[in-house]
Structure 1
């Protein structure tokens, strides 16, 4: 998920992993790969029907299929992306 080593993408990946662990307990039991894959598929399907606060309490599919409500974004790309502090 993070081919470009983009920290914003890494944050999204970590959030997804956290949701799978906290809400669906995929790390709690010693499960086979087949069972884990099924849990992830069900989590994705649930996410498509689950209203989200950041989408003004509508589902992701509803948000993407409309054009009246502006989608909230929480990341801002800094123009000085690769600037390091000097000592």
Structure 2
């Protein structure tokens, strides 16, 4: 089953890669007690990924930094 809107195999691979990063690096593979806790944990992980964590592939910049430089 595809996890993307277009049901395209290449987009599915990218979505699965992001899911893997969120589970492995931000511990979102745990069992949560309720939906509110899941939403809070996912929001915090995405914020850290985009605003705090530097990325080797982006010359040690954050995705937000790269986006702001290109705007």
TM range (shorter): 0.7 to 0.9
- The gaps in structure 2 that reach 5 residues or longer are none
1:1-87 map, 5 Å: 2-47=4-49, 48-67=51-70
| Structure with more of its chain in helix, by fraction | 2
> How big is the shift at 1:66?
1.7
Q: TM-score, normalised by structure 1?
A: 0.66
Deviations 1:13-65 (A, max 9, x none): 10111112112222222431110110000001101221111111111111112
In structure 2, what is the Cα distance between the partners aligned to 1:32 and 1:23?
21
The number of residue pairs the alignment matches comes to: 67
CA RMSD of aligned residues (A): 1.6
Larger Rg: 1
